[in-house]
Amino acid sequence: MTPEFVIDIGRQAVEMVLLLSAPMLLAAVVIGLIVSIFQAATQINEQTMTFIPKIVAVLVSLILFAPWMIQKMLAFSNGIFASLVTLGG
C-alpha cells in the first residue's frame, strides 16, 4: 500500500462526505436565509425561531435524499473493498 493510494482514498472520502452532506447543508442555508429575511421584514428577533424550520428542512432533505446517499455510500464502499482486494492479491 503506497502513500499515494492512502492519500487518494482519503481524498475520495472527503469528497464523498462533502457530496453527501450538501443537500442537508443547502436546505439549512436556504431556510436560514428565508427566516432571516422574514425576521428582518417583521422586526421579530426571536433567536429560537430559526431552529425548528432548519431542523425540519434538514430532516425532510435527509428523508428525500436517503436512497441516493445510501447508493453513493455503497458504491464508494464497494470500490474501496474492490481496490483493496486487487491490491492484496
Q: How confident is the model at residue 10 (pLDDT cuts 50, 70, 90)?
A: very high
Cell numbers standing for residue 18 = 462533502
Q: Answer yes or no: is pLDDT of 41 > 80.
A: yes
| Residue at grid coordinates 428565508 | 34
Q: Answer yes or no: is pLDDT of 62 > 60.
A: yes
Q: What is the mean pLDDT of the chain?
A: 91
Say which DSSP state 50 is in.
G
Q: How many CB atoms lie within 10 A of CB 62?
A: 13
The pTM of the full predicted model, rounded to 2 decimals, is 0.79
Q: How confident is the model at residue 78 (pLDDT cuts 50, 70, 90)?
A: very high
| Residue at grid coordinates 492484496 | 88
Residue 72 CB contacts under 8 Å (≥ 6 apart), including other chains: 16, 19, 20
Q: How confident is the model at residue 59 (pLDDT cuts 50, 70, 90)?
A: very high
**Predicted pLDDT at 87:** 78
Q: Answer yes or no: is pLDDT of 2 > 80.
A: yes
